[in-house]
Amino acid sequence: MAFLIIIMNYDHLKKTAPDKCQLCETTENISIYKVPFSTGKFADEAFFCCESCISQLEKRAELDAKHFEILSTTMWHEDPAVQVTAWRLLNRLKSNTWAVDALDMLYLDDEIKEWAEASGDQHATGEDEFHRDCNGIILQNGDTVTLIKDLDVKGSSLNAKIGTAVRQIRLVHDNSEQIEGKIEGQSIIILTKYVKKQA
């Protein structure tokens, strides 16, 4: 059933806006973006979006405020999925005056606002926190990193040597300065300032 719904959404989207991103209106690298925290209350919970927007939505890249200034226009799209995403982005961008102004103007029906608020972005400080390695490179779940110094593991006799590769890391959800990884089969927490992301 879910597979059929995806196909129906895709067909609907293909008819309405197959040639451009519905957030920034670029025509390059377009794909379908499924909006998180689905409610099941709306026929379409996905829309056409470019890779640049998606990487920023998924916090794989830093927010580019200039890129999203067009939200002041595209936030009025009739599709609830676009409205929800615009509202969430504007909250994450609220360190910018234009984003605050846009939020003040943007009205969402109760059900749409409930969906938008499910992400918690309304509590954003205006700047996203990323897990970064010693060089400031953004880390993602599944990355491989290298230790840049010897580390003694607390509560263990393990001494992790400089240059040790830690594969398939996991980001610590509530602390952007920590990652979790395995060294010699033992799961440990590592400070991001002591690792370098492998290319």
Domain spans in the chain, listed from the N-terminal domain onward: 2-123, 145-197
CATH number assigned to the domain with residue range 145-197, chosen from the 4 options 1.10.101.10, 3.40.190.10, 2.30.30.40, 3.50.50.60:
2.30.30.40
pLDDT (tens digit per residue) in 71-98: 999 999 999 999 999 999 999 999 999 9
Cβ-based neighbours of 180, under 8 Å, separated by 6 or more: 169, 170, 171, 172, 187, 188, 189, 190
Can you give the pLDDT of all 199 residues of the chain as single tens digits? 343 344 444 555 555 545 899 999 999 999 999 999 887 788 789 999 999 999 999 888 889 999 999 999 999 999 999 999 999 999 999 999 999 999 999 999 999 999 999 988 888 776 677 888 999 888 989 999 999 999 887 777 788 899 999 999 999 977 889 999 998 888 899 999 999 999 8
Burial class (CB in 10 A: 0-12, 13-18, 19+), 2: exposed
DSSP 78: S
d(CA 129, CA 125): 9
- pLDDT on residue 147: 94
